[in-house]
Amino acid sequence: MNSASEFNIPFKYKTNRSSPAKWIFSHVKHHWFIFLVASIGAIGNAALAGIPAVQFGNVFEALTSGVSTKQIFLQAAAIVAISQIVRGFLQFQRNFGFEVTAQRIERDTRDEFYTSLLGKSMTFHALQSVGDLMARASNDIREVNYVFSPGINMVFGSLNFLFIPVVIGWRIHPALLLTPVAFIVAYAIAIAHYLRILQPVTRKVRSSFGVMNSRIAEDMDGIETVKAAAQEKAEIDLFRANIKTFRDASVRQGDIEARFLPLLFMSLAMGFGLLHALYLARTGDITLGNVISYFSSLTMLGFPTNTSVMAYSRISSGLASARRLLNVMNAENNLDQNENGYANRIEGNVRFEDVSFSYDNKVMNLENIAFEAKAGQTIAVVGQTGSGKTSLIRLINRTYDPQHGNIFIDGVNLKDWRLDTLRGQISIIEQDIFLFSKTIAENIAFGKPNASQEEIEEAARKAQAADFIAELEDGYDTVIGERGATLSGGQRQRIALARAFLTDPRILILDDSTSAIDSQTEDEIQKAIMTAAQGRTTFIVTHRLSQIRWADLIVVLRKGKISEIGTHTELMKSSRSYRRIFSEGKQD
């Protein structure tokens, strides 16, 4: 799929999203210095690890030859001590460098992923599970961290140990290259096979974790519905099924790791290598001291072999997680920022020209919509449930784009407007009010973070919210729960109205925004809405007759099409269906 972004929010550097490995290492390039420091530490640590093996052989040779002297022992001890002290610093350098690289990569990939999510269109988000996105944003990004520490840290550090027996074996006798070279070849083949069969399993582990996490999020978000329908047991059974899938995939991964062939190869190499060295010693080609040095070097094969199980599993899991992250970031997005687009002040003239829209490109939710709202007019959109009212108003700020036809604001096609300029001058208050877990003042000022306290309080007064806010213990500094759970429906909607008033939008859209407000409060807010509507174009989706009556233009929708359009007076004369709506006090 083509990578695109609704909001072209620039990440601090360009990354290669063509594959998981290329993406990860395109991040590494921007932290090359610390990665280089870690790599030098890994190479130096491995190089110095072979020194004790050589010195052990020299000491043994001196002891068995009868020419041992105190000087030889002290020299060997000093070389071993100094080399291992230096090795300790290099090992610290390796571990520290890879850990810093891992943390920086996690920070940057998390930043890039979050930036990408904010840039996606509502078409994308409407099809995504919040729980699965959270699993990717938290656990999957953490797995990318593990690619470097302990993953690459252990792999890169341990691979160098494979060549110590080669160097020492060659130094002693060329024939001793047989065992370490054969082991390296077998090790490489086994690792390639291991990664090939491990890769689909780690993908299954990551995907099943996402499904499990997604269901948790849905249940927690809809906990009232679950309890009201007494479906706790059914949800627990479903969750257990998801856990079982995740467990089975994890057990399968463990089974593959348990049958890691290099562990067997290492044991064979140790046995055959010792036997070969002893044979060469018996034939007089090498000394017993050489046997000690050679066998000591072979023991170093244990580090790459034993760490490979964990390290390569971490790398495989990290690549699987990176693929899941890229699937989201590379998902096609139909909207774009249009940074070079039209960016003037909106006057408020809105025109629909033969607009048709579908969420799934199969069933048309709106068909052949055509009408014009003059700047400063109030437009009421009425109709049955499912007639397309909310779909229509979501097209105005390009939450979605129509499949056919065009929408114009001030004579300029919506697609030609710079998106942030367009949306910055349109305020929407929907039925499902979303408030953040912040203070009331911060929620009101969400669209205008630099607003003064006086401006916030004035917006609250206009929305008839000042009185109930004053009754709260901390007033405007009261922290409300997620989604405003600690407030009533009417209070949430009044805060949302205050948020809209504060931004002073040129186009105001109210999607049944007073549905949870009692009649007395509605009368007060009605006055505020009428005041706010002065000088700006206002679209009202409502079943409140008091709001329909004073609209300049009423658009009646039926099954996604405009069935009637006109003023209240005109429709009362010409439309039987509108008269029925009005007389019954509801939309039928």
For range 90-103, the mean pLDDT: 90
**Does residue 281 have a pLDDT over 50?**
yes
Which of 24-33, 261-270, 492-501 has the lowest average pLDDT?
Answer: 492-501
Which of 183-187, 250-254, 358-362 has the lowest average pLDDT?
Answer: 358-362
State the alpha helices, DSSP H only, in 119-231: 122-126, 130-135, 141-146, 153-159, 164-172, 178-221, 223-228
pLDDT in tens, 318-336: 888 898 888 888 876 655 6
pLDDT in tens, 378-411: 888 888 777 888 889 888 888 888 889 999 999 9
- The pLDDT score that the predictor gives to residue 126 is 64
**Does residue 2 have a pLDDT over 50?**
no
pLDDT in tens, 113-135: 888 887 776 667 766 777 778 87
Please give the Cα distance from 378 to 329 (Å, whole number).
39
Are 347 and 480 in a shared domain?
Answer: no
Q: pLDDT band for position 7 (50/70/90)? A: very low
Name the domain boundary from 278, 296, 329.
Answer: 329
Q: Which residues contact 516 (CB under 8 A, 6 or more apart)?
A: 488, 489, 490, 492, 493
Q: Which residues contact 63 (CB under 8 A, 6 or more apart)?
A: none
Are 403 and 448 in a shared domain?
Answer: no
User: Does residue 527 lie within any of the structural domains?
Assistant: yes
Residue 88 main-chain phi, psi, to 5 deg: -60, -40
Are 168 and 279 in a shared domain?
Answer: yes
Angle, alpha carbons 256-257-258 (nearest 5°):
90
What single string gives the DSSP state of each residue in 481-521? Answer: PGGGTTS-HHHHHHHHHHHHHHH--SEEEEESTTTTS-HHH
- Please give the tally of structural domains in the chain: 3
**CB atoms inside a 10 Å sphere around CB 588:** 9
| Assigned token pair, 170 | 């060659």
Please give the Cα distance from 83 to 49 (Å, whole number).
8
Are 344 and 324 in a shared domain?
Answer: no
Q: Which residues contact 412 (CB under 8 A, 6 or more apart)?
A: 342
For range 174-186, the mean pLDDT: 91
Are 417 and 442 in a shared domain?
Answer: no
- The pLDDT score that the predictor gives to residue 151 is 84
Please give the Cα distance from 241 to 52 (Å, whole number).
54
pLDDT in tens, 489-518: 777 878 888 888 888 788 888 877 555 555
Are 464 and 548 in a shared domain?
Answer: no
Q: Which is higher by pLDDT, 211 or 102?
A: 102
Reduced DSSP (H G I as helix, E B as strand, rest coil) percent helix, strand, coil of the chain, to 5:
65, 10, 25
Q: Which residues contact 463 (CB under 8 A, 6 or more apart)?
A: 494, 495, 497, 498, 500, 501, 525, 528
In terms of phi and psi (left: phi > 0; alpha: psi -120 to 50; beta: otherwise), the region of 492 is alpha
Please give the Cα distance from 491 to 489 (Å, whole number).
5
- The pLDDT score that the predictor gives to residue 524 is 61
Residue 148 main-chain phi, psi, to 5 deg: -95, -40
Q: Is 68 helix (H, G, I), strand (E, B) or coil?
A: coil
| Assigned token pair, 437 | 């877990």
31 DSSP assignment: G
Are 208 and 311 in a shared domain?
Answer: yes
Q: CATH code at 365?
A: 3.40.50.300
pLDDT in tens, 524-577: 666 666 666 667 888 888 776 766 777 888 888 888 888 888 888 888 888 777
- The pLDDT score that the predictor gives to residue 435 is 80
| Assigned token pair, 505 | 């939008």
Are 212 and 315 in a shared domain?
Answer: yes
**Does residue 520 have a pLDDT over 70?**
no
pLDDT in tens, 440-479: 888 888 878 888 888 888 888 877 788 888 888 888 888 8
pLDDT in tens, 131-175: 778 878 888 888 898 889 888 888 887 888 888 888 888 888 889
478 DSSP assignment: P
Residue numbers of the domain that contains 517: 338-425+506-588
What's the mean per-residue pLDDT of the chain? 81
Q: pLDDT band for position 4 (50/70/90)? A: very low
User: Does residue 465 lie within any of the structural domains?
Assistant: yes
Q: pLDDT band for position 355 (50/70/90)? A: very high
Are 181 and 268 in a shared domain?
Answer: yes
Please give the Cα distance from 314 to 309 (Å, whole number).
9
**Does residue 9 have a pLDDT over 60?**
no
How large a percentage of the chain has pLDDT more than 70? Answer: 86
Q: CATH code at 113?
A: 1.20.1560.10
Instruction: Compute CA distances 439 → 50, 452, 476, 484, 510, whole Å.
Output: 62, 14, 7, 10, 23
**Does residue 423 have a pLDDT over 80?**
yes
Please give the Cα distance from 190 to 186 (Å, whole number).
6
Are 542 and 569 in a shared domain?
Answer: yes
User: Does residue 212 lie within any of the structural domains?
Assistant: yes
User: Does residue 259 lie within any of the structural domains?
Assistant: yes
Are 322 and 345 in a shared domain?
Answer: no
Which of 25-29, 200-204, 391-395, 580-584 has the lowest average pLDDT?
Answer: 580-584
Please give the Cα distance from 249 to 205 (Å, whole number).
5
- The pLDDT score that the predictor gives to residue 351 is 92
How large a percentage of the chain has pLDDT more than 90? Answer: 7
Q: pLDDT band for position 519 (50/70/90)? A: low
Are 77 and 132 in a shared domain?
Answer: yes
For range 174-181, the mean pLDDT: 90
Contact between 343 and 225 (Cβ < 8 Å): no
Name the domain boundary from 329, 362, 381.
Answer: 329
**Does residue 278 have a pLDDT over 70?**
yes
